[in-house]
Amino acid sequence: MYPSVYVDQIAAHEGKEVTLHGWLHGRRSSGKLHFLQVRDGTGTIQCVVFKGNVSPEVFHEADHLPQETSLSVTGTVKKDTRSPLGFELDVRSLAVFARPAREFPIGHKEHGVAFLMEQRHNWLRSPRQQVILRVRHSVVKAIRDFFDGRGFTLVDAPVFTPAACEGTSTLFEVPYFDLGKAYLTQSGQLYMEAGAMALGKVYCFGPTFRAEKSKTRRHLTEFWMVEPEVAYMDLDGDMELMEQFVSHVVQTVLQKHETELRTVLERDVEKLRKVVPPFPRITYTEAVEVIQKAGHPMKWGDDIGGDEETVVASAYDRPVMVHRYPAEMKAFYFKKDPGDPKVALGCDVLAPEGYGEIIGGGQREDDLAVLEAAIAQHGLPREAFEWYLDVRRYGSVPHAGFGMGVERCVAWICGLHHVRETIPFPRMMERITP
């Protein structure tokens, strides 16, 4: 309907006349020349309108179009070393689809966080947000490619669940017909364990919900999580999978977006280049010693808090894997270490540079009797977990898996201060619009 070319393909049309459809990002003028920055979603190109090349009406209009006017520009593609893109469009004609009904709220100057969050739908048009969303897309694709390339099957977990998966987190409640209350999922893991008994290697990838009243830069109430689960895998195998997975995602994104990360987001990409196996591994007990030596009061059995986490993570130049946490701190389904029953066979991956926990996982309890006892000990409703116990009743095997939060991963790769910029429309405690 509208034959045109895209900015990212412009080099192939050097010297030819083409038409571009896009939005006016910015405009500058210098007497008989007007410079229009036109954004089309694939890139931004400077379109030069010379007074001698167009009608007086078009020339005048070109200097009076507001930001975000949707338009078509037709002209000749010219190589130009002064352009960051390397090419410019020498404009012959220009057609406006629609002028903004009112002034676009987001200018090219400074804005505050609150204002930008209210304008999130408009904010997405800014160059920085475009880069972040492209990186997010690549992270998602790298995740899927990693598992698909290793024989995993995607098994979608339900969003409505009858009860807490872990019994601890605060959940969002929704009415569910005559069955009473349902809850929005906080993890697909238990379902993946059933899936792994059917298909061996599985993963789920979808939105997850936490109703905790967390107000920090690392929290959203709705976030995306990928959760692989593998039959016949122990903690060591799980940790190998974690490090291969994380480095695959980081290196794939780096390969694809290095320039954007460096120029638009000012990310130190050398730090990302170092994210290759093997990752350092320390036990929880060793981590406590490191934290104590750094002067933080902490004893064995305490949770590793935010500051303490940074102490451990900043001792290394790549993600660090902390394993074998006190069993009491972990969810009921973790298998205990046969060599030391005080600790669970769990492992968290802490991202460098203070980005915190991006992965949590471990080996699951595969013994029916032990798991039944754990459910009772945690005071969980046995009936709700009958189906889950079936996973152990019929040919139980050692199995392990983990979950990675996509937004924390994207925030780390992009070097962002807050996870709210890593998801198109963030949902937080105090914000549900736009």
Q: Which of residues 93-122 bind RNA (CB under 7 A)?
A: 103, 105, 107-115, 117
Which are the contacts of 431, defined by CB distance < 8 A and separation ≥ 6? 117
Tell me the residue type at 157: A
- Torsion angle, alpha carbons of 257, 143, 224, 281, to 10: -100
* Least CB distance to RNA at residue 419 (A): 6
- Of the candidate residues 44, 67, 185, 247, the single one contacting RNA (CB under 7 A): 67
The single residue among 8, 41, 55, 66 that binds RNA, judged by CB under 7 A, is: 66
Of residues 185-244, those binding RNA (CB under 7 A):
187, 210, 212-221, 223, 225
82 binds RNA (CB under 7 A): yes
- Least CB distance to RNA at residue 363 (A): 15
Q: How far apart are CA 300 and CA 294, in angstroms?
A: 15
Q: What is the token pair recorded at 24?
A: 């006016």
Stretch that binds RNA, among 153-161, 190-198, 357-365, 382-390 (CB under 7 A): 357-365
Question: What's the closest the beta carbon of residue 30 comes to RNA, in angstroms?
Answer: 4
Q: Does 377 contact RNA by CB under 7 A?
A: no
As a whole number of angstroms, the distance between CA 300 and CA 290 comes to 12
- Enter the tokens of residue 136: 């997010």
State which of positions 261-290 bind RNA (CB under 7 A): none
Please tell me whether residue 408 binds RNA under the rule CB under 7 A. yes
CB of 180 to RNA, least distance (A): 24
- Does 35 contact RNA by CB under 7 A? yes
Is 99 or 150 the residue whose CB approaches RNA more closely?
99
**Dihedral sign from CA coordinates of 106, 421, 256, 22:** negative
Tell which one of 41, 86, 277, 305 touches RNA (CB under 7 A).
305
Asked if 407 is part of the footprint of RNA (rule: CB under 7 A), the reply reads yes
Question: What letter represents residue 1's amino acid?
Answer: M
Residue 140 touching RNA (CB under 7 A)? no
Q: Does the footprint of RNA cover residue 28 (CB under 7 A)?
A: yes
Any idea what the Cα angle at residue 306 is, between residues 302 and 312, rounded to 5°? 80
Q: Which stretch binds RNA (CB under 7 A): 9-17, 26-34, 130-138, 238-246?
A: 26-34
Structure tokens at 243: 């490090």
Secondary structure of residue 224 in the 3-state scheme: strand
Sheet strand arrangement including 399-405: 153-154, 201-209, 222-231, 399-405, 356-363, 346-351, 320-323, 281-283
* Count, residues near RNA per rule CB under 7 A: 72
Tokens of 267: 């990310």
